[in-house]
Amino acid sequence: MTHYADAAHKYLSYHVLTNIPARILQARHSNQTRPERDARLVHDAVLLMFVVSVTCLQLRQIREALICGAANVFKGPLSSLAGITMPEWAADELRRNPASEFWQIHFSGKEAAGPSVNAFLPQSMVQVIEEYLMQHRSLLAGGNDPGTLFLNKRGGPLSARQLTSLVGELTARFASCRMTPAMIRRLFELGRQAEKAHDYYTLSRVVGREDVREFFGE
């Protein structure tokens, strides 16, 4: 088996990756007999949404994102951030209600070790993150809550190794193909470059397939 043919077994398509969180959420039990298990499933679904969809953040920032104090992920009025790019759905909401609050992401230049990050949380994630924070996260936090959005199995912040292991476990369990966060980010970055250059050759070589349109739902 060639290197590129082998690579075809290591990459999931965009459609499959973005649907894994929904599959994770479907694994919950509605009878609430195991609330900690369900809390962990919702946590994992939100984490994978961040890895796959919130590409403005580095993986380190996802691990370190705070929801307490000077929070990096928070719900608040738009005036709390400067220079944020507003999606159309947010502009519509603001026209209907100028006092609207939105889920936002903010990392200062110092926190980001580079340009500051100001962004809206994708609208598709709002309902799930609110459920996680209101109903589930407290069950996972240890006695000394670190204040981070995501938690390891002991209630502390995720390490880089724990993040890689967890994402690999989730993709293997729910899509039968183990992918690391770095692989996921690389796939989407190559996809953006290929789309911009109208040249899918490099991407096709990486994923080991001649036709890569399926990776982006085309």
Predicted model pTM = 0.84
Average pLDDT over residues 51-60: 92
Nearest to residue 52, comparing CAs of 194, 187, 205? Answer: 187
pLDDT at 96: 95
Residue 32 banded pLDDT, cuts 50, 70, 90 = low
CA 201 to chain centre: 27
Average pLDDT over residues 110-117: 85
Is domain 3-216 annotated with CATH 1.10.3470? no
Query: Is pLDDT at 4 greater than 60 in this prediction?
Result: no
Per-residue pLDDT tens for 118-133? 999 999 999 999 999 9
The ranges assigned to domains in the chain are 3-216
In angstroms, the CA 48 to CA 50 distance is 5
List all residues 6 or more positions away from 24 whose beta carbon is below 8 Å from its beta carbon: 41, 44, 45, 48, 170, 174
Average pLDDT, the chain: 83
Query: Is pLDDT at 158 greater than 90 in this prediction?
Result: yes
